[in-house]
Amino acid sequence: MIPSLPFGRTGHTSARLVFGAAALSRATQEAADAALAQLLVAGVNHVDVAASYGDAELRVAPWMRHHRDRFFLATKTGERSYAGARAEIRRSLERMGVERIDLLQLHNLVKEDEWEQAMGPDGALRAAIEARDAGLVRFLGVTGHGTRVAAMHLRSLERFDFDSVLLPMNPAMLRDARYAEEFERLLAVCRDRNVAVQTIKSVARRRWPDGSAPTHDTWYEPLTDEADIERAVHWALAHPGVFVNSAGDLRLLAPMLRAAASFERARRDAEIAAVESRTPLEPLFARGFARS
């Protein structure tokens, strides 16, 4: 059974493995429905999608017609202006065929100029608050990539009392001493405020090597050996209070579900020590360079 936790102060208890619906961006409806069957069997009750994930919101729509009460539904807007975010929020509602979204997140809010615009008087945050006050969304969050994201999330939480944050966490990321320190500071603030913490890239191995042909839909090379995936997911779940989002390729969903279901805190120490013993991991991000 996949462990679960209260998702911050939302009142919802979510499975600690959240379905990352980026994996549906180019999926057929048949493949998406097969993924839904896996989620229902595993007890995953939280879907994290985004307006920018290709057809993912459209693929989620049939699920919501039949299973809306079984899922905490999150999406994201990458728009930075009030008008752009306002329109995109309503488009997401239409695409998914729902009257209300549980969690709306400002997507990948890391770059300084975009942060200033989104958080400004005519920015995306205003549209998000307006949608919450109108009952179109229930809770608000912020997400991001790169080495600056933990520090930027701390700034975001100073500006507004978000209900959740999302950012990368894996052994290679935490080898960056500055990132690790900022990550721990963010976790402490989130614990104090009961803000939910979602983590991504748990099964990332490295960027695709130059000249290689990607074999998966992820923009990075993922771990593929089931034992490696299990160790990586267990390593992530061993961090108290965090949620782990599944990867952006449907072929990785089943092994990640099995890994989450087999997680036992009592056996985690040896697996944490072995997480890089078979397949060394490399950082996805470098300081001074942000993934667009």
Determine, yes or no, domain membership for 287: no
What confidence score (pLDDT) does residue 99 get?
Answer: 98
What confidence score (pLDDT) does residue 264 get?
Answer: 79
Determine, yes or no, domain membership for 52: yes
Q: Is the pLDDT of residue 48 over 60?
A: yes
What value does the mean pLDDT take over residues 40-47?
Answer: 98
Angle (CA) 210 246 59, round 5°: 100
Confidence of residue 266 (pLDDT cuts 50, 70, 90): very low
Confidence of residue 285 (pLDDT cuts 50, 70, 90): confident
What confidence score (pLDDT) does residue 271 get?
Answer: 59
How high is the mean pLDDT of the chain? 94
What value does the mean pLDDT take over residues 217-244?
Answer: 96
Q: Which residue has the tokens 């191995």?
A: 205
What value does the mean pLDDT take over residues 188-204?
Answer: 98
The span from the CA of 286 to the CA of 53, in Å, is: 24
Angle (CA) 224 226 227, round 5°: 120
Give the CA distances from residue 74 to residues 51, 84, 155, in Å, rounded to whole numbers and listed in that order.
10, 19, 22
Percentage of the residues of the chain whose pLDDT score is greater than 70: 93
CB atoms within 10 A of CB 111: 17
Confidence of residue 286 (pLDDT cuts 50, 70, 90): confident
Q: Is the pLDDT of residue 270 over 60?
A: no
CB neighbour list of residue 51: distance below 8 Å, 6 or more residues apart: 57, 75, 76, 77, 78, 88, 91, 92, 95, 107
What confidence score (pLDDT) does residue 265 get?
Answer: 59
Q: Is the pLDDT of residue 26 over 60?
A: yes
Q: Which residue has the tokens 């939302």?
A: 10
Q: Is the pLDDT of residue 277 over 80?
A: no
Closest CA to 18 of 259, 229, 243, 235: 243
Q: What is the pTM of this model?
A: 0.92
Determine, yes or no, domain membership for 123: yes
Determine, yes or no, domain membership for 184: yes
The span from the CA of 87 to the CA of 124, in Å, is: 10
Give, as one character, the DSSP assignment of residue 50.
-
Determine, yes or no, domain membership for 292: no
Give how many domains the chain has, as a whole number: 1
CB neighbour list of residue 258: distance below 8 Å, 6 or more residues apart: 226, 230
What value does the mean pLDDT take over residues 81-96?
Answer: 98
Assign 207 to helix, strand or coil: strand
Confidence of residue 114 (pLDDT cuts 50, 70, 90): very high
Determine, yes or no, domain membership for 22: yes
Print the domain residue range for 97. Answer: 4-273
Confidence of residue 86 (pLDDT cuts 50, 70, 90): very high
Determine, yes or no, domain membership for 285: no
Q: Is the pLDDT of residue 170 over 80?
A: yes
Determine, yes or no, domain membership for 21: yes
CB atoms within 10 A of CB 277: 10
- The CATH number assigned to the domain holding 79 equals 3.20.20.100
Closest CA to 43 of 196, 252, 261: 261
What confidence score (pLDDT) does residue 268 get?
Answer: 54
Closest CA to 61 of 43, 52, 79, 73: 73
What value does the mean pLDDT take over residues 250-279?
Answer: 77
